[in-house]
């Protein structure tokens, strides 16, 4: 047998540099761990279908009804995971957040379940039903102007005063992992999904869903749905860098934030396309949810259906092969006072 000789130091053939795989704020393992943690507290939300909406879309649609989640929106998943991940010492100081409504209520409810104080900074233009939810769950409210800058400034002041732990609405690893539990359930409920359409704002929801879904089914397509009046994700995706839109204007009050440093990399690298729709399309989609699914959704919750029915999606090359499309109906907290006043006047 010929003797094997090691190369001399000068002859060593060094391997080519292989870039490390990107590390994101959550993983399939952290999302599965989150699901185990929050399972005793959350609802396993149903998936609904509508043959008439299938006909309209020209494909099979599956609606993950997070409007039926505790607190009326998906936000309870992430908030519950974040609050119950805290050590007893940290939790005893209370928790703090800033939010346009749904995350605020979710944090207040999670804190109530853990029996710790919750402090929430809420914009003055937040819908009354969302404010009522926060108060119902015992949250301590501090008002701010309806801008991201004002929210963050007031939250910092409140944190300095209380020492509470800040739970960011989307730029937080535990929040992202909690929101990703939707994908675990969705793919178990509808294994044949070849696409999921997700509302996008700060990006916590779509980041968690994308990381879980692509880990479980590498061929699945993820589409972000975004209002034209708050299209920083579409602009960022097109530019290949994180952009912000300080002055957003859309009926979808829950989609007025912009992407964070933890969520942008997931959107940049793994989200397949951002579909933008105008407010009229969102309202039309809301009406369809009410009339055909019999599900109450807020504007932010209907943007996914609006995206699937849009010309951008219908004519897009990526969507052509997507015949089993999941849509996340992300929330159902909307003021219905005017509607019921109209009924009363008719009596």
DSSP code at position 163: -
pLDDT, one tens digit per residue, over 187-204 is 999 999 999 999 999 999
**Token pair recorded at residue 76:** 């309870």
What residues act catalytically? 75, 100
Which residues, 6 or more positions from 205, have their beta carbon under 8 angstroms from its beta carbon? 74, 170, 179, 182, 198, 199, 328, 330
pLDDT, one tens digit per residue, over 13-24 is 444 555 566 799
Which residues lie across from 166 on neighbouring strands? 96
DSSP code at position 71: G
Whether pTM exceeds 0.85 = yes
pLDDT at res. 314: 94
Residue 277, SS3 per DSSP: strand
Q: What percent of the chain has pLDDT over 90?
A: 77
Q: What percent of the chain has pLDDT over 70?
A: 93
pLDDT at res. 85: 98
**Token pair recorded at residue 134:** 């926060």
Say how many C-beta atoms besides its own lie within 10 A of residue 146's C-beta: 16
pLDDT at 329 over 60: yes
How do 324-329 and 60-65 pair as beta strands?
Answer: parallel
pLDDT, one tens digit per residue, over 239-268 is 999 998 766 788 988 788 889 999 999 999
Report the alpha-carbon distance of residue 227 to residue 250 in Å, rounded: 7
Residue 158, SS3 per DSSP: helix
Selection from 224, 214, 212, 227 nearest residue 78 by Cα: 212
Length of the chain: 347
pLDDT at res. 338: 73
By mean pLDDT, which of 58-62, 77-81, 97-101, 195-199 is the weakest? Answer: 97-101
Report the alpha-carbon distance of residue 71 to residue 203 in Å, rounded: 19
């Amino acid at each position: 047998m010929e003797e094997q000789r090691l190369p001399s130091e000068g002859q060593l053939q060094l391997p080519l540099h292989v870039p490390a795989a990107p590390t994101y704020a959550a993983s399939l393992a952290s999302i599965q761990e989150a699901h185990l943690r929050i399972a005793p507290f959350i609802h396993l939300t149903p998936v609904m279908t509508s043959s008439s909406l299938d006909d309209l879309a020209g494909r099979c649609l599956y609606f993950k009804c997070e409007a039926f989640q505790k607190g009326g929106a998906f936000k309870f998943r992430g908030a519950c995971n974040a609050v119950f991940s805290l050590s007893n010492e940290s939790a005893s100081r209370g928790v703090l957040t800033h939010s346009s409504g749904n995350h605020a209520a979710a944090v207040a409810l999670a804190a109530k379940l853990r029996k710790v104080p919750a402090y929430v900074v809420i914009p003055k233009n937040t819908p009354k039903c969302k404010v009522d939810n926060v108060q119902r769950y015992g949250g301590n409210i501090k008002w701010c102007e309806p801008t991201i800058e004002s929210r963050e400034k007031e939250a910092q002041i409140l944190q300095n005063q209380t020492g509470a732990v800040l739970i960011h609405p989307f730029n937080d690893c535990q929040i992202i992992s909690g929101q990703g539990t939707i994908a675990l359930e969705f793919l178990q409920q509808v294994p044949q999904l070849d696409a999921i359409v997700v509302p996008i704002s700060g990006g916590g929801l779509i980041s968690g869903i994308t990381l879980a879904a692509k880990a479980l089914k590498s061929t699945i397509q993820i589409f972000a749905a975004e209002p034209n009046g708050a299209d920083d994700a579409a602009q960022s995706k097109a530019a290949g860098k994180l952009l912000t839109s300080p002055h957003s204007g859309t009926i979808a009050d829950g989609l007025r934030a912009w992407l964070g440093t933890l969520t942008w990399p997931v959107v940049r690298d793994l989200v397949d396309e951002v579909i933008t729709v105008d407010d009229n399309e969102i309202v039309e989609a809301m009406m369809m949810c009410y009339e055909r699914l019999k599900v109450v959704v807020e504007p932010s919750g209907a943007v996914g259906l609006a995206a699937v029915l849009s010309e951008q999606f219908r004519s897009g090359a990526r969507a052509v092969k997507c015949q089993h499309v999941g849509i996340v109906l992300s929330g159902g907290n909307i003021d219905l006072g005017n509607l019921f006043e109209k009924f009363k006047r008719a009596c």
